[in-house]
Amino acid sequence: MAEQTFALPDLGEGLVEATVLEWLVRPGERVERNQPLVELETTKSAVEIPSPCSGTVVRLHASEEETLRVGAALVTFEVDSAAGIVGTVPGGERPTRRVRLRPPAE
């Protein structure tokens, strides 16, 4: 088991901070990848942030109504392995789809 901290992602459009409206998970709770974690409010809208991985929530790094800057720690998970974070390729898993690099010979 390894701990992994997920930081507040860049929400786009020049936004540099967001306020926690409501946590949708609690420490000790098991979450699945893409499960909604938290509802945040920016100057432009309210958004739900999904979990980047499956694991157990260890720590919430902000309380409701607290404002965080992009890149600040948001939540720490205990995960079975480092694979599974959004943007990484899990090790040992083979692709399920083949891609042809050149057309078949006729």
pLDDT tens, residue by residue, 86-105: 555 555 555 566 555 666 67
pTM: 0.71
- The Cα–Cα gap between 2 and 58 comes to 11
Q: How many of the other CB atoms lie within 10 Å of CB of 15?
A: 15
With a cut of 50, which residues of the chain have pLDDT below it?
84-85
Q: Does domain 2-79 have CATH number 2.40.50.100?
A: yes
Eight-class DSSP state of 13: T
51-60: burial string, b at 16+ Cβ within 10 Å, e else:
bbbebbbeeb
pLDDT, averaged across the chain: 84
Q: Across the strands, what pairs with 7? A: 73
Predicted pLDDT at 76? 96
